[in-house]
Homo-oligomer: A and B are copies of this chain.
């Protein structure tokens, strides 16, 4: 994600509305508040009395929908939209969602957040039977399954298809007569229902999108549920009873916006609690607490509050970082030219600094920030990470599919401390994280997927079994992280 210093990527945000005269425009504003979940591309499909129209493109939402008239052309009382996360290289508009399928007997829009674990085998089976795919994404699979289902209604075809699909997913569909939302059996990805003052129902990846459009929160979508919204209101059905809550804990730690609530827990508050707990688990004498902007400010303020050490703005992020920005040359970088993040000399000079960050992936960013603070005169830099060490891959929607890029999969905390040149380094404990979030679900998962921390995956691996076994053997030496 080019707008952040972190190299963790979320896979997409979705938003939909049924029953508003300006549906596409509301979708635009809803998506705008989900832009942090994906910057590679965006799209909207609208439903105008059964006629579906779509527009999608590469880039930020504001780049794709530059012209008011594009939104205006997406007329109709209902719409679904999607923002897609940035991957390297595959810059084709073919993969931008929502997909819009047109058939002789109907039409359907489809948007997806998540990652399927049996996509490869399903795709191969379908192709062997004559199916043609038009994108790299897993998303199309669902539509092929639906079109080949022998069930008599669309909803039954959908349910049958969902039973075939494995992994983490939140789907949003727009048919000619209804908007449908559904979630995987573990509720890996967040998905909520809201309602606008005019009665229109809204579906969104995060509750911040409800706030932004002035909608009231109705309820979260539960694992295995199928929400059907049409002119008669909303209905809740299920495609499976075999469900449990295993919400992606990285949503709380890093991905979600601090103003969102997930499963009733406010993200900022959860992060602040992580910081407070971290202060208790890993205290240190220092002059100030500094958060790495923007995602770690809540945790940092929690650490400060709990420790009684002043919370200071020791790091500043340039708010004008653009994707098209010219990068410093290697020579200039060596001379100290930097763009995104600055340490505040006037604040940290001569001081002992507790630097709070939400997580460590490769370690390079942490090392760079420690260096920034020391270059600006910090006497000591104690790094405190408001989550446990990331040690395992994820196959449910976060873009870490190998342990090679995880410093903690390959090194002990003591080694990492040395590698990033911190004066001390501590991570939050797993139990600390669970308590800080404070969900009321039972073991084994307490409502949270923490597989990247402890390797305890809530589902089989399916097509990823081999990849998982291979990455377990990866042994990388980060001694020379760059």
Contacts and interface: CB of A to CB of B under 8 A. Distances in A.
Contacts of A331: 22
A32 B342 contact: no
Q: How many copies does the complex hold?
A: 4
A144 B127 contact: no
Given A127-B103, A127-B104, A344-B268, A197 B336 contact: yes
Contact of A345 (B22, B25, B62, B259): B259
Given A147-B130, A335-B214, A316 B257 contact: yes
B329 A25 contact: yes
Given A132-B132, A197-B336, A320 B268 contact: no
A127 B143 contact: no
Tell me which of A66, A337, A343 has the highest count of chain B C-beta atoms within 10 A of its own C-beta: A337
A437 to B, nearest CB: 13
A132 B376 contact: no
Interface residues of A, number: 98
A338 interface: yes
Contact of A132 (B65, B101, B310): B101
A162 B145 CA distance: 28
A71 interface: yes
Interface in A284-332: 294, 297-298, 301, 304-305, 310-313, 316, 318-320, 322, 324-326, 328-329, 331-332
Contacts of A61: 320
A60 B320 contact: yes
Nearest to A62: B322
B342 A208 contact: yes
Contacts of A301: 301, 311-313
A68 to B, nearest CB: 6
Interface string A246-273: 0000000000011111000111110010
Given A39-B320, A130-B131, 6 more contacts: A22-B332, A25-B332, A103-B132, A214-B336, A259-B344, A305-B311
